[in-house]
Structure 1
Amino acid sequence: MKYLVHLSRLFTGILFIISGFIKLNDPLGFSYKLVEYFGADVLNLEFLIPYALGISVIVVVFEVVLGVFLLIGYKSKFTVWSLLLMIVFFTFLTFYSAYFDKVKDCGCFGDALKLTPWESFTKDLVLLVLVLILFFGVKYIQPLFSKLPTTVIALLSFITSLWFGYHVLMHLPAIDFRAYAIGNNLPEEMATPENAPKPVLEYTWTFKVNGDEEEFVTNGSYPSVDGEFVGVETETIDEGYVPAIQDFSIESDDEDLTDYFLGKDKLIMVTMYNVKKGEAEGMMKLKAFTEKASKKGYTVIGLSSSGAVDKAQAKAEYGYDFETYLCDEKVVKTIVRANPGVIVLHQGTVVNKAHWNDLDDIEL
């Protein structure tokens, strides 16, 4: 039991630190995932949506700190009880998502590693077993150091986690795992190679044969059945190749301008997923920045999911003169973790991106 506890302690502590750090690197992204869970069609806890960001920071800081506490042996009973309650809750959440097909990606490892709902549930089951080993063998969890160093390390882990979470919220994630990272070419991220694996679909056909309903399974072809057709259901067995970017577009009221703008040599896209929710200080910075960019030969456009009336009001209020085009809200949130944010492109390749706090640091 002693060796099992040591192995479980090491594996669980490291996994909690890695998982927590990845989410702490992008707490805004994790808050978007929490909003999905709080939605009416999942947990129906919509009253928590306004507090999603605060909950996100608390959860991921706690996750990192618990991992550190476990490894150094700080307050072992408190740590193990906290781990048990957390993993029981996460196991329920991932099972609910998987069984009822509610949330396609749990967000356990942010954008660094995508897990299907059932993969997430399996991962949490394994962790639950490990935490139960720790729970029943808590007497074997001893501090690695004396009391003072252990307390100092525990306190530093908490302070460092809080500082890092605040830092990335005020700027951008330190590590960008998304398809819109600096150096990526958006058209290439959107393309599907000619030899890419195709989706595999399974069709279940229902026919009434001699008064009884019978099912016939094919890969798409219409079955040769001497009976009355009732219906057909389709199931995706394998999604095949899925491009990293699927829903990105730049649209006016009349046409899709995605290819046109991504072909520009010097393009700046100002991302505002919702102009009414834009940070006022950041929105006021846009006028000076975009005017400077235009003078240096950049094409400047905005991307937002907001309606025409809201966009016109924001333009009049903050005085910027670039046109804002339509893009899906979830996509705009993904491009830059700021509202507003800026992304600089050259022929579709991302050469820079910034939080509104860092607009003055962009070299044009």
Structure 2
Amino acid sequence: MVQGRTFGKLQRLCATIVGLVFLLAGIFKIFDPVGAGLVLEEYFRLVHLDFLLPVAKPLAVAVALFESLLGAALISGIRRVAVAFVTTVLLGFFTLLTLALAIFNPNIDCGCFGEVVHLTHLQSLLKNVVLMALSLFAFYPYRNLGTNKVRKDISFSIAAVLLAGFLVYSWLNIPMVDFTAFAPGSELIVSQDDVEGDEEYSSVFVYEKNGQQGVFTLDNLPDSTWTFIRTETVHFNRTDVSDAKIALPFHDSLGVSMDHLAADGNVLVVSVYDPARVRGEVWVNIADAIQGAQDAGFRPLLLVNSSREAMEGLPSIIPDAREKISGCTYYADRKLLLTLNRANGGATWFSDGQLIRKFNVRSLPDGEYFLSRSGDDPAEEMLDYSTKGRLQFEGFILNVSAILLLL
């Protein structure tokens, strides 16, 4: 009897581990619908199903939601036999898929955990083999798996509502945390060699606690008990640079590279990766944000995935908005603009080439915002923006996990 209970607990532990992986994998894709859609687009192109590209984003999000709900069901232990069969079938499919990827090694990301964790094809295969082994131990022979307590139906329902709400929020907004190359704190590399010699510069952040000061990088910030004091710029030999550097290539209508414009002073970059899908009122908001940034001393740049002729022929841009954007419009690659800002018409603030923060297309800043920030230290804005998003994201994951595990 005791051995039977111990074995049952081990089975539940294995099921919970598999569930946590599914839950996190789903959440990591839900919070970035555009990124999940890009991964699925690569799979469709790989197997020559290009006609499915228009539905890649909603389909990717639907699959991610299903993954997270399946993970929640595994953790809570509801409908155990049905959930066990579905889990095994899904893991079998993923194992075969990653086996094919490991054999043929195409140049695509497996997308298992979205942008948060990147695995090689071999690592993805090993991950799925381990999960399959855990699931077989937890479920085989798919009978007498026990029943859940009634409260677990409630905890699953609460988690499902939270996950659905999180999906809606993520669909309407840019990700809370940026795991792309264009994350806050990243620094631009420009095509022009403006820096002589082998010197590189980077920012560090000085915090204070109990009268003692400490120096931190963006990847190693202290907890909330520390107080931000100032930013310092340090220089070192170029061969010692390990910080992430990013390139933002764009050009004018004649094809001349103009990327140096984004690396000097305060710059607001509005990125539009699909101009034809931007409505007239959004163009008005974009034009107003550009005008407000310019009035506050920022350099506004509008980067579009288009051509001059196509932009001039867009009927959705009213004359007044066209006049405001005409002098700052440049052209860039679609995937680059998608990586820079997930919103079609979103904005990104750079200060001397360092990415400070991003804005969603539905909440573009106005002139008053820029005037209020023009005299502040941009690094403090960057830290506040990054920390707030990270705490919200981590808090959501912890709350959902706690509801499933503890309720």
Equivalence for 1:35:
41
- Would the alpha carbon gap of residues 140 and 294 (structure 1) be closer, same or farther in structure 2, given more than 3 Å must change? farther
Equivalence for 1:166:
168
Equivalence for 1:269:
269
- Would the alpha carbon gap of residues 268 and 151 (structure 1) be closer, same or farther in structure 2, given more than 3 Å must change? same
CA contact (8 A) 1:267 1:346 kept: yes
Shift of the alpha carbon at 1:280? Answer: 5.1
Equivalence for 1:78:
82
- Tell me, yes or no, if structure 1 residue 329 matches structure 2 residue 329: no
2:138 and 2:96 map into 1 onto residues whose CA distance is: 20
* Percentage of matched positions with identical amino acids: 25
Equivalence for 2:363:
358
1:210-234 CA-partner distances (Å, limit 9, x unpaired): xxxxxxxxxxxxxxxxxxxxxxxxx
Matches within 5 A, 1:271-290: 271-278=271-278, 281-290=281-290
Shift of the alpha carbon at 1:12? Answer: 0.6
Stretches of structure 1 lacking an aligned partner (at least 5 in a row): 197-240
CA contact (8 A) 2:88 2:132 kept: yes
| Aligned CA-pair RMSD | 2.7
Is the partner of 1:105 in helix, strand or coil? coil
Richer in helix (by share): 2
- Tell me, yes or no, if structure 1 residue 194 matches structure 2 residue 199: no
Equivalence for 1:257:
258
Q: How many residues align?
A: 313
Matches within 5 A, 1:113-124: 113-124=117-128
CA contact (8 A) 2:181 2:246 kept: no
Matches within 5 A, 1:1-364: 2-39=8-45, 42-139=46-143, 141-146=145-150, 149-187=151-189, 193-195=238-240, 244=244, 248-252=248-252, 253-263=254-264, 265-278=265-278, 281-314=281-314, 317-318=317-318, 319-320=321-322, 321-322=324-325, 323-360=328-365, 363-364=369-370
- Would the alpha carbon gap of residues 193 and 76 (structure 1) be closer, same or farther in structure 2, given more than 3 Å must change? farther
2:334 and 2:245 map into 1 onto residues whose CA distance is: 14
Shift of the alpha carbon at 1:121? Answer: 1.7
Shift of the alpha carbon at 1:37? Answer: 0.5
CA contact (8 A) 1:106 1:117 kept: yes
CA contact (8 A) 1:104 1:117 kept: no
Partner letter of residue 301 of structure 2? I
1:133 and 1:186 map into 2 onto residues whose CA distance is: 49
1:267-323 CA-partner distances (Å, limit 9, x unpaired): 111111121233555334212222222211221111223222222334972424333
2:162 and 2:311 map into 1 onto residues whose CA distance is: 39
Partner letter of residue 49 of structure 1? L
Shift of the alpha carbon at 1:78? Answer: 1.9
1:20 and 1:316 map into 2 onto residues whose CA distance is: 36
Is the partner of 1:81 in helix, strand or coil? helix
CA contact (8 A) 1:271 1:332 kept: yes
2:244 and 2:125 map into 1 onto residues whose CA distance is: 24
- Would the alpha carbon gap of residues 358 and 260 (structure 1) be closer, same or farther in structure 2, given more than 3 Å must change? closer
TM-score where L is the length of structure 2: 0.70
1:310 and 1:99 map into 2 onto residues whose CA distance is: 43
2:261 and 2:268 map into 1 onto residues whose CA distance is: 13
Where has structure 1 moved over 6 Å in runs of 4 or more?
A: none
2:109 and 2:246 map into 1 onto residues whose CA distance is: 16
